[in-house]
Amino acid sequence: MLRDAGLVALKDLRIEWTSRILTAQVLPFGLLVLILFGFGISPERIVQGRDRRTVLEDVSPALFWLAVLFSSLLALGRAFAIEAEDGNLDALQLAGLDPAGVFLGKMLAISAELVVLELVIGGGALLLYGATIEHPLLLVAVLVATTFALSAAGTLYAALGAGIRVRDTLVPLLVLPVLAPVLLGATRATESALYGSASDGWPWAGFLGAFALLYLGAGILFFGSLLEES
């Protein structure tokens, strides 16, 4: 299983590396979303109360994760488009690769892509929204846990749309409600890491980790059923 996972992950990352879709299209899209949020929420508006933060800074964790979420949809769609174009899913089955290994490999490749997305979009958010980091350790934990939560659930649900003509419209409908708790948890935890108390954030980070593990298990268990005769 791990051998197959490594093989698939390396292959997917190599494809991303040569095609540059991630850097040339998905990353700029994520940054664009950040800028558009800035247009939507006037940057001069101030939060009432003691803190006197701008509204934009106040909601920057949510905007950051929304931008990551939308960008990850593009990355997910692509991960299965490359398999469906030329009948490669059949060939993967003929090769006798362990479906759980294929799932893990796809998930790891998407995780790596998500980390790049998060670093660039996160840098953009700090810069554009003027946020500061209070608890860096918590932030790192949240980033790692959310990455795996997004990639595990995302890979499983993107596979539901593999090999279907209406994939592009179906997968977002399926995946976004599922990722709603992840968005919720990641945003709360990131708020704590940026301008709250760390003790509020750690339980959410734990929740995200548990979510990732649950979907990791579901993916290993069900991926074979999804690929069969598709």
Partner 1 sequence: MNASELDGPRVKRTVLGQEGRVVSTSSELTRALGVVAIVASVVLVVLGLFVSPADLFQGDNVRLFYLHVPVAIVALYIAFTVTLVGSVMFLLKGSVFWDLLAGAAAEVGVLFLGLTLVTGMLWGRPTWGAYWVWDPRLTSTAVSFVLYLGYLAVRKLEMDPTARSRRAAVLGIVGFANTIIVKYSVSWWRGLHQGSTLKPLDSQIEGLMMFSFFVGVVAMMAVFAWLLVHRFRLAWLQYQVDERQLEVALRERRSEGSSSGLAQGGI
Partner 2 sequence: MLDGVVSLIGRFPALAGINLRIEASEVILLRGPNGAGKSTLLRLCAGLAPLSGGSGRVLGHDLGLRSSRRLLRRQVGLLGHKTSLYDELSVEQNIRFWAKANQADPGMVDVVMDRFGLAGRLRSVKVSGLSAGQRRRTAMAIVVCRRPSLWLLDEPHSGLDQEGRGLVDNLVLDAAAAGATVLVASHEVDRVVDLGARTVTIAGGRAIAESPDVA
Binding site for partner 1 (CB under 8 A): 156, 160, 163-166, 170, 173-174, 176-178, 180-181, 184-185, 188, 207, 211, 214-215, 218, 222, 225-226, 228-230
String of b and e for 125-147 (b: at least 16 CB within 10 Å)?
bbebbebeeebeebbebbbbbbb
Residues that bind partner 2 (CB under 8 A): 4, 7, 11, 14-15, 18-19, 82, 85-88, 90-97, 228-229
Shortest Cβ distance from residue 124 to partner 1 (Å)? 26
Taking the C-alpha atoms of residue 108 and residue 73, their distance in angstroms, rounded to an integer, is 16
CB 56 within 8 A of CB 41: yes
If contact means CB under 5 to 8 A according to the sort of partner, which of partner 2, partner 1, none does residue 198 touch? none
Nearer Cβ to partner 1 (124/185) = 185
If contact means CB under 5 to 8 A according to the sort of partner, which of partner 2, partner 1, none does residue 196 touch? none
CB 185 within 8 A of CB 128: no
Three-state DSSP at 189 gives helix
Residue type, 185: G
Shortest Cβ distance from residue 74 to partner 2 (Å)? 16
If contact means CB under 5 to 8 A according to the sort of partner, which of partner 1, partner 2, none does residue 97 touch? partner 2
If contact means CB under 5 to 8 A according to the sort of partner, which of partner 2, partner 1, none does residue 174 touch? partner 1
Shortest Cβ distance from residue 178 to partner 1 (Å)? 5
Q: Which two tokens stand for residue 30?
A: 């994520």
DSSP annotation of 54 reads B
Nearer Cβ to partner 1 (56/186) = 186
Q: 46 phi and psi, to 5 degrees? A: -110, 140
If contact means CB under 5 to 8 A according to the sort of partner, which of partner 2, partner 1, none does residue 211 touch? partner 1
Q: Which residues pair with 54 in a beta bridge?
A: 46
Shortest Cβ distance from residue 189 to partner 1 (Å)? 11
Helix axes 99-129, 27-40, angle to 10 degrees: 40
Shortest Cβ distance from residue 226 to partner 1 (Å)? 6
